[in-house]
Chains A and B, each alone.
Chain A
Amino acid sequence: QAVLTQPASLSASPGASASLTCALRRGIYVSSYRIYWYQQKPGSPPQFLLRYKSDSEKQQGSGVPSRFSGSKDASTNAGILLISGLQSEDEADYYCMIWHNSAWVFGGGTKLTVL
């Protein structure tokens, strides 16, 4: 089982909110980890969006709008990237990542379609 699991795709309408999930493998507890989120558009390198461990320990990437925010759901053992007020420019691939066993581990990515 992969360390981090993301849904392959998600669709949402302009102006709506999208909640992208990043589920941690059983036995790895989301409460213990900083969850990092990246956005990647075609032909470009990934861009760091934010990291989230708790409401008191979080960091927004430089120039990243506040409509991108992070949270966690302990009940599903998942990190969450919430994008509010969706815009067409938010259409991209989104990756989560954690530092686990002395290595950076990426989720498989979610392709967000805004239509």
Chain B
Amino acid sequence: QVQFQQWGAGLLKPSETLSLTCAVYGGSFTGYSWSWIRQSPGKGLEWIGEINDGGSTNYNPSLKSRVTISADTSKNQFSLKLNSVTAADTAVYYCARGLSKFVTDAPGYWGQGTLVTVSS
């Protein structure tokens, strides 16, 4: 059963860079796609982007200019960086694994999420 441990700064000031890391336990890291999704307080889900087994990435077009997702397969970890944050980036950030191996597939297994607040 795949499990996740997320960490990163929970309180940021406007214009700073959000940085989160997700460690994966209990399953293979290779072969899957790894996503970041966020949810603003009281709002719906917004997919941020993903990195796949080969290291290629896909991003939400609305965030693409500010987002970088990377992975360290030797540590079974992947990371999110979001530049120039504003209050609108305040959200619970989830890491997740794709349902199936070796194909683009939906986030099927989710971490518990990390609240990141942007406030001056």
**Chain B residues with CB below 8 A from A99, complex form:** 104, 106
| Cβ 8 A contact of B45, one of A34, A61, A106 | A106
Asked, given contacts A103-B61, A104-B35, whether A48 binds B47 with beta carbons under 8 Å apart, the answer is no
**Cβ-based interface call for B46 (8 A):** yes
Which A residues between 64 and 104 are near B, CB-CB below 8 angstroms? 95, 97, 99, 101-104
Secondary structure dominating the interface of A: strand
**Cβ-based interface call for B111 (8 A):** yes
Whether the Cβ atoms of A48 and B44 lie closer than 8 Å is no
Shortest beta-carbon distance from B35 to chain A in Å: 7
Please encode chain B, from 60 to 85, with 1 for each CB lying within 8 Å of some chain A CB and 0 for all others.
11000000000000000000000000
Whether the Cβ atoms of A103 and B44 lie closer than 8 Å is no
The size class of the interface chain B forms with chain A is 20 to 34
Shortest beta-carbon distance from A81 to chain B in Å: 14
A101 to B59, CA, bound (A): 10
Whether the Cβ atoms of B106 and A48 lie closer than 8 Å is yes
Asked, given contacts A45-B94, A48-B99, A102-B58, whether A95 binds B44 with beta carbons under 8 Å apart, the answer is yes
Shortest beta-carbon distance from A108 to chain B in Å: 5
- Footprint of A on B, CB under 8 Å? 35, 44-47, 50, 58-61, 94, 96, 99, 104, 106-113
7 tightest A-B CB contacts, nearest first: A45-B110, A104-B47, A106-B45, A109-B44, A48-B108, A36-B106, A108-B44
